[in-house]
């Protein structure tokens, strides 16, 4: 049977969507990436999608990725020992075991992703893939501008107790409000960097993660990503040799 039809029968996706999944290099047959949807296959071969084995009779659902606009006071762990609300509880998906992709501090608002795809979550947060995260940090005390020398220090790297930070994108959107783009993700990194240059953060919001922006999704709201958005995320964290295109 054609590989695309095989994936459709295994419940991975529609036949058309399966052709795209194959074309994107996400399918292996007997350990070898196959990009031809017409490749002949059957249950005697080991067919894998994103490293997970599929077979007819063992329906596999497309992995889910949700975008959440986290409010203040909600924690980004899957469970909280102090009984605080969690980002996971904001999504109504009882049959899916979702995990946060990275962390935001309880008092940070903005974009956080949840997924049941552990491999994707690991790659999106691994520093090796340098997926950019964009934050808006309010450091203004009464709208006082951050001087150029401090902006330069933030851009070039700040020495923290766990080492010097990698080069960052930093723009002053208006006096005392900075847009900071990081390609690494250490604990409380934005707050520690800003404090180190003498401009502690009063308010922090993440507005983008890789190719995704928070857009006009209201605080406290969630939405499931479309298959095309999930694909763009996968491309943003593609292993070497599996670059987009």
Provide the annotated active-site residues.
105
Nearest distance in Å: CB 191, ligand URA: 3
Nearest distance in Å: CB 98, ligand URA: 19
Nearest distance in Å: CB 221, ligand URA: 19
Nearest distance in Å: CB 26, ligand URA: 30
- Considering the complex, state which of residue 120 and residue 204 has its C-beta at the smaller distance from ligand URA: 204
- Considering the complex, state which of residue 34 and residue 180 has its C-beta at the smaller distance from ligand URA: 180
- Tokens 């005697």: give the residue: 44
- Considering the complex, state which of residue 93 and residue 197 has its C-beta at the smaller distance from ligand URA: 197
Which stretch of DSSP H or E encloses residue 114?
Answer: strand 109-115
Residues near ligand URA (CB under 6 A)? 104-105, 108, 188-191, 204
The two tokens of residue 70 are 């986290």
> Which bin fits 142, alpha (ψ -120 to 50), beta or left (φ > 0)?
left
Order of strands across the sheet that contains 47-49: 32-33, 27-29, 47-49, 52-54
Counting other chains too, the contacts that 33-37 makes at CB distance below 8 Å and 24 or more residues apart are 34/3, 36/3, 37/2, 37/3, 37/4
**Distance of alpha carbon 72 from alpha carbon 70, whole angstroms:** 7
- Considering the complex, state which of residue 105 and residue 116 has its C-beta at the smaller distance from ligand URA: 105
| DSSP-derived secondary structure for 188-239 | THHHHHHHHTT---SEEEEEEETTEE-TTPPTT-EEEPPHHHHHHHHHHTPP
- Considering the complex, state which of residue 7 and residue 112 has its C-beta at the smaller distance from ligand URA: 112
- Tokens 């292996």: give the residue: 28
Nearest distance in Å: CB 110, ligand URA: 8
């Amino acid at each position: 049977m054609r590989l695309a039809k095989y994936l459709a029968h295994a419940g991975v996706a529609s036949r058309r969507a399966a052709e795209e999944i194959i074309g994107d290099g996400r399918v292996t047959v007997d350990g070898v990436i196959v990009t031809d949807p017409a490749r002949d296959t059957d249950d005697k071969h080991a067919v894998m999608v994103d490293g997970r084995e599929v077979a007819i009779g063992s329906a596999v659902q497309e992995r889910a990725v949700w975008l959440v606009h986290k409010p203040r006071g909600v924690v980004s762990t899957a469970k909280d020992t102090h009984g605080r609300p969690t980002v996971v509880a904001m999504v109504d998906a009882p049959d899916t075991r979702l995990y946060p992709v990275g962390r935001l501090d309880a008092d940070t608002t903005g974009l956080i992703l949840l997924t049941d795809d552990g491999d994707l979550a690991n790659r999106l947060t691994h520093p090796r893939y340098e997926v950019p995260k964009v934050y808006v940090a309010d450091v203004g005390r009464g709208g006082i501008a951050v001087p150029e020398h401090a902006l330069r220090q933030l851009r070039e790297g700040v020495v923290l107790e766990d080492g010097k930070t990698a080069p960052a994108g930093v723009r002053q959107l208006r006096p005392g409000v900075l847009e900071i783009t990081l390609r690494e993700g250490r604990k409380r990194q934005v707050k520690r960097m800003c404090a180190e240059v003498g401009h502690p953060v009063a308010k922090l919001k993440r507005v983008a993660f890789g190719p995704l922006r928070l857009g006009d999704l209201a605080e406290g709201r969630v939405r499931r990503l479309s298959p095309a958005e999930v694909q763009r995320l996968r491309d943003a964290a593609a292993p070497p040799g599996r670059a987009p295109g």
